[in-house]
C-alpha cells in the first residue's frame, strides 16, 4: 500500500511541471491576445515589416529583451509601455510561447542583392574588418539562447537594428555589433538583411 501511494505521489509530481507549463502558456496567450498581437501577430509572424518576427526566437533571448525594455536598458517608448506591468514569470511564459511557434521567412525579390548578402553573412568583409555573421549566429542564422535567431527575420527590421547598433541607439546587447555595424556600407546592410530574411 505504501508503494502505491509513493507511485501515485511520484506520478503527480511528474505531472505538475506539464500542468504549470500549460497554465503559463495559457497566460502568455492571453497577454499576446491583449497587446503583443497588434505588432507581432498572434503567431509571432509580425503585423508589419517594421516589427520583428518572434516565432521561433529563443525564449531566453526574448526574456532578456523584455527585461531590458522594462528597465530602460533598451530604449523604446512603445515597448516600455507594453512590458511595464509584466512579471518575470510572464516574460518567461511569453518567451516559451513564441519559441514554440513556427518561424517564417521572406522570398527574395532581388537575387543579386541577396547574393551579396550571402557573401557578407558567410565570409564577412576582410577588407573593411567585418566578421561573418555565422561566427556568432551560426551557419543557418539560428543563433543561441543568448544570441538571437536571425533566420527569416524581417529585412527592414534587420536594417533598422543594424543602423541603431551603428549609431549606438541600441546598446543593450553585445558590443561587438557596434563595431560590425559601423563598418557595413549601406549596400551591405541592405544585402545582408535581404539574405538573412530568406533563411529558413
Q: Place 59 in a pLDDT band, splitting at 50, 70 and 90.
A: very high
Q: Is the pLDDT of residue 3 over 60?
A: no
- Structural domain total, the chain: 2
Same-domain pairing of 12 and 91: yes
The full DSSP string for 40-77 is H-TTS--SSTTS---TT--HHHHHHHHHHHHHTSS--H
Same-domain pairing of 10 and 90: yes
User: Average model confidence (pLDDT) for the chain?
Assistant: 92
Give the pLDDT confidence score for residue 21 in this predicted structure. 76
- State the Cα–Cα distance between residues 143 and 10, nearest whole angstrom: 37
- State the Cα–Cα distance between residues 198 and 200, nearest whole angstrom: 6
Is residue 105 assigned to a domain? no
Give the pLDDT confidence score for residue 16 in this predicted structure. 45
Is residue 11 assigned to a domain? yes
Give the pLDDT confidence score for residue 67 in this predicted structure. 97
Residue among 182, 143, 184 at smallest CA distance from 165 = 182
Give the pLDDT confidence score for residue 14 in this predicted structure. 58
Higher-confidence residue of 107 and 97: namely 97
Q: Is the pLDDT of residue 103 over 70?
A: yes
Give the pLDDT confidence score for residue 174 in this predicted structure. 82
Containing domain of residue 34, as a range?
2-99
Same-domain pairing of 63 and 138: no
Same-domain pairing of 116 and 93: no
Same-domain pairing of 140 and 176: yes
Same-domain pairing of 57 and 141: no
Give the pLDDT confidence score for residue 9 in this predicted structure. 53
Q: Place 13 in a pLDDT band, splitting at 50, 70 and 90.
A: low
Q: What is the mean pLDDT of residues 116-135?
A: 97
Q: Residues near 54 by Cβ (< 8 Å), separated by ≥ 6?
A: 36, 40, 44, 46, 62, 98, 101
Q: What CA dihedral angle connects 32, 36, 41 and 45, to 10 degrees?
A: -100
Q: Is the pLDDT of residue 5 over 80?
A: no
Is residue 44 assigned to a domain? yes
Contact 125, 17 (CB under 8 A): no
Q: Is the pLDDT of residue 109 over 90?
A: no
Q: Tell me: the pLDDT tens digits for 76-90?
A: 999 999 999 999 999
CATH value at residue 61: 1.10.760.10
Q: Tell me: the pLDDT tens digits for 158-172?
A: 999 999 999 999 999
Q: For the chain, give the number of residues.
A: 200
Give the pLDDT confidence score for residue 23 in this predicted structure. 72
Is residue 106 assigned to a domain? no
Give the pLDDT confidence score for residue 148 in this predicted structure. 97
Is residue 12 assigned to a domain? yes
In this structure, what C-alpha cell is assigned to residue 166?
551603428
Same-domain pairing of 44 and 90: yes
Is residue 46 assigned to a domain? yes
Same-domain pairing of 152 and 181: yes
Same-domain pairing of 116 and 164: yes
Amino acid at each position: 500500500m505504501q508503494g502505491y501511494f509513493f507511485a501515485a505521489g511520484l506520478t503527480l509530481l511528474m505531472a505538475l511541471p506539464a500542468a504549470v507549463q500549460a497554465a503559463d502558456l495559457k497566460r502568455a496567450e492571453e497577454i499576446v491576445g491583449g497587446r503583443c498581437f497588434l505588432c507581432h501577430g498572434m503567431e509571432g509572424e509580425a503585423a508589419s515589416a517594421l516589427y520583428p518576427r518572434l516565432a521561433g526566437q529563443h525564449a531566453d533571448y526574448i526574456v532578456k529583451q523584455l527585461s531590458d525594455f522594462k528597465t530602460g536598458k533598451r530604449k523604446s517608448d512603445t515597448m516600455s509601455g507594453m512590458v511595464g506591468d509584466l512579471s518575470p514569470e510572464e516574460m518567461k511564459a511569453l518567451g516559451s510561447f513564441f519559441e514554440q511557434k513556427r518561424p517564417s521567412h521572406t522570398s527574395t525579390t532581388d537575387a543579386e542583392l541577396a547574393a551579396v548578402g550571402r557573401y557578407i553573412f558567410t565570409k564577412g568583409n576582410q577588407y573593411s574588418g567585418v566578421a561573418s555573421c555565422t561566427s556568432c549566429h551560426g551557419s543557418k542564422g539560428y543563433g543561441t539562447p543568448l544570441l538571437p535567431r536571425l533566420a527569416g527575420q524581417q529585412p527592414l527590421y534587420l536594417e533598422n537594428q543594424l543602423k541603431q547598433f551603428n549609431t549606438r541607439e541600441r546598446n543593450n546587447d553585445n558590443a561587438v555589433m557596434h563595431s560590425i555595424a559601423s563598418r557595413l556600407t549601406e549596400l551591405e546592410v541592405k544585402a545582408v538583411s535581404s539574405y538573412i530574411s530568406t533563411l529558413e
